[in-house]
C-alpha cells in the first residue's frame, strides 16, 4: 500500500487510484519496465534549490530537467539539485528517492512540467521502491494544485 499519509489523503478526498506492486526498482526506466507504465506517464520527482528555497519539480520520467528553462520558469538566477541529505528528513515516511509528488502533504511547493498536464493519468512512486500509484491527472492537479512550468528541454522545444 502507498505510504499511509498518501493513502489516507486520497481516500478522504474520494480519489480513485490503483496501487501497482513491482519488484524493487530505483531507476525510472526500470520502474516503467517492471510496472508496464509508459515513461511519459510515469512521473519523476526532483528536489531542487530555487535560490535558497527547496521545491519539488515533477517531470515525465523519460525527460531530464533543463536548468535554463527551470531558472526562467521559477524566476530565479540559481537552480541546483538538492542533496539527498538536505531533503530526506522532509519525507520521514518514504524510502529515500521514492517520495510521491504530493509536496502539499510534506510542506514543500510543487511545480509540474507542462508536458505532464497532457496525460490522462499520472503514475508515481508511492513512498517505496516496490510500488507505484496511478490516478487521473485531473485528480492529482485538483489535490496538489501544482504550479505548471516548463522544466524540460522537451517542453521548451514544443513552443
Structural domain count of the chain: 1
Residue 39 above 90 pLDDT? no
Whole-angstrom distance, CA of residue 72 vs CA of residue 150: 9
User: Strands, DSSP E only, in 7-157?
Assistant: 17-21, 43-50, 53-60, 79-81, 110-113, 121-125, 131-136, 147-149
pLDDT in tens, 115-128: 999 999 999 999 99
pLDDT in tens, 60-117: 999 999 999 999 999 999 999 999 999 999 999 999 889 999 999 999 999 999 999 9
In which domain, by residue range, is 54 found?
4-157
Residues 32, 123 contacting (CB under 8 angstroms): no
Q: Which residue has the higher pLDDT, 5 or 31?
A: 5
Whole-angstrom distance, CA of residue 27 vs CA of residue 8: 27
Residues 73, 109 contacting (CB under 8 angstroms): no
Q: Can you give the CATH number for the domain in which 152 is found?
A: 3.90.960.10
Whole-angstrom distance, CA of residue 121 vs CA of residue 95: 23
What pTM value is reported for the model? 0.91
The SS3 assignment for 130 reads coil
Whole-angstrom distance, CA of residue 93 vs CA of residue 110: 18
Give the pLDDT of residue 156.
53
Amino acid at each position: 500500500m502507498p505510504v499511509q499519509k498518501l493513502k489516507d489523503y486520497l481516500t478522504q478526498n474520494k480519489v480513485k487510484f490503483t496501487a501497482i506492486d513491482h519488484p524493487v526498482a530505483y531507476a525510472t526506466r526500470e520502474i516503467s519496465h517492471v510496472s508496464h507504465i509508459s515513461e511519459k506517464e510515469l512521473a519523476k520527482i526532483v528536489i531542487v534549490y530555487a535560490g535558497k528555497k527547496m521545491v519539488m519539480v515533477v517531470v515525465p520520467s523519460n525527460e531530464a530537467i533543463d536548468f535554463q528553462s527551470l531558472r526562467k520558469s521559477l524566476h530565479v538566477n540559481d537552480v541546483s539539485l538538492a542533496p539527498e541529505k538536505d531533503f530526506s528528513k522532509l519525507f520521514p515516511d518514504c524510502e529515500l528517492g521514492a517520495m510521491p509528488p504530493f509536496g502539499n502533504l510534506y510542506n514543500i511547493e510543487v511545480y509540474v512540467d507542462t508536458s505532464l498536464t497532457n496525460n490522462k493519468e499520472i503514475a508515481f512512486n508511492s513512498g517505496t521502491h516496490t510500488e507505484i500509484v496511478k490516478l487521473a491527472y485531473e485528480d492529482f492537479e485538483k489535490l496538489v494544485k501544482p504550479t505548471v512550468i516548463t522544466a524540460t528541454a522537451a517542453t521548451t522545444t514544443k513552443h
